[in-house]
Amino acid sequence: MRTLVVAVVVAVIAAAAILAATRAGHRGGSASGSGHSSGGPATALATRPSAGPHSQQTATTHSPADSRSPASPAPAPASAAVHAVSTSTGAAMGLSITPVGSTGRPWTSGTLGAGAAWSTIKVPLVMASLSAGTATLGDADVRAAIISSDNAAAERLTRRLGTDAAAASAVKAQLVARGDTTTVPARVRTRPDFSVLGQTSWRLDDQAAFLATAACRPHDAGLLKLMGQIEQDQRWGLGTLPGARFKGGWGPDTSGHYLVRQVGLVTVSGRSYAVAMAARAPDGSFAAGTAALDQLATRLPALVRALPAGAAKGRC
């Protein structure tokens, strides 16, 4: 009898040890395999592959390490507008739109879902400069970076924040504060002729969600006002709409084909929407890219009026 009891006890202890080891193995596999762990978003970001400065991703493509909710498929009017302009111009296009005050993922349509931020990164760069106290809204470099998209001014603002890595960290903090926890500001100049931050891969849906949150932050009101003063030769796309506050960005990939993009706020029938859109024309030219965004912008007022009424706040 004593021998039997000892055998049973040994078997129970062995089984418990096996179970504990199995559970520990599952925790490790989950953390390393999915990019998620108790470390939070930073762990997922560290394992997320970096898209190149001229990458094209579809609006619904996600990395296995991507911790975001999926982009919301656009309602029929938005999809129809993007499809019509893309068919008319031959351009690869993308559109993300979300009502100001909404907590849901932006509606997203088109085949062009991400790419180099180019000069649209100047918006969070200025936010970082203001937050760090290295610049003020009245600073000539701040005004030039936003109103004129002056690259030299933006570089001076970047250097005031410190090294490329320090500037990237400061910009990252501003993105996170406005709900974009997944974009990773570039720290390395993969293309030496362009600014390091401009080479950040920024998804359209993340960009729209970021600006929709900024629109409800009193501290961002002064910067948004500057975005309503963009100089005339950059008032294409969203800039053709009355009262729009926006920032454009554009630049060539390694084959010389331009990605042209904008992020901004538009108001229709008293409701405000954050919009991010991009185009790459079939001939790769800047002019054809801006012309495609002009066409899409003309459809935006009717498009937002046709969006589902119950899904939008449109105000803070």
Strands of the 92-99 sheet, one edge to the other? 72-73, 107-110, 92-99, 271-280, 258-268, 245-252
> Which of the four pLDDT bands, split at 50, 70 and 90, describes residue 30?
very low
Reported pTM: 0.77
What is the spatial distance between Cα 147 and Cα 154, in angstroms, rounded to a whole number? 11
Mean pLDDT score of the chain: 81
Inter-CA distances, 32 with 16, 64, 164, 193, Å = 25, 11, 28, 36
Phi/psi of residue 248, each to 5°? -105, 165
Query: 72-306: which CATH topology?
Result: Beta-lactamase (3.40.710)
Tens-place pLDDT, residues 217-267: 999 999 999 999 999 999 999 999 999 999 999 999 999 999 999 999 999
Name residue 108's amino acid: T
Is residue 8 pLDDT above 50, yes or no?
no
Instruction: Give the E-state strand segments of the chain in sequence order.
Output: 72-73, 92-99, 107-110, 245-252, 258-268, 271-280
Contact (Cβ atoms closer than 8 angstroms) between residue 80 and residue 219: no
Tokens of 13: 């202890």
For the chain, what are the domain ranges?
A: 72-306
Q: What is the pLDDT of residues 107-126, one digit of tens each?
A: 999 999 999 999 999 999 99
Left (φ > 0), alpha (ψ -120 to 50) or beta: where does 102 sit? beta
What percent of the chain stands above pLDDT 70? 75
* 179 backbone φψ class: left, alpha, beta (φ>0; ψ -120 to 50): left
Which pLDDT does position 23 carry in this prediction? Answer: 33
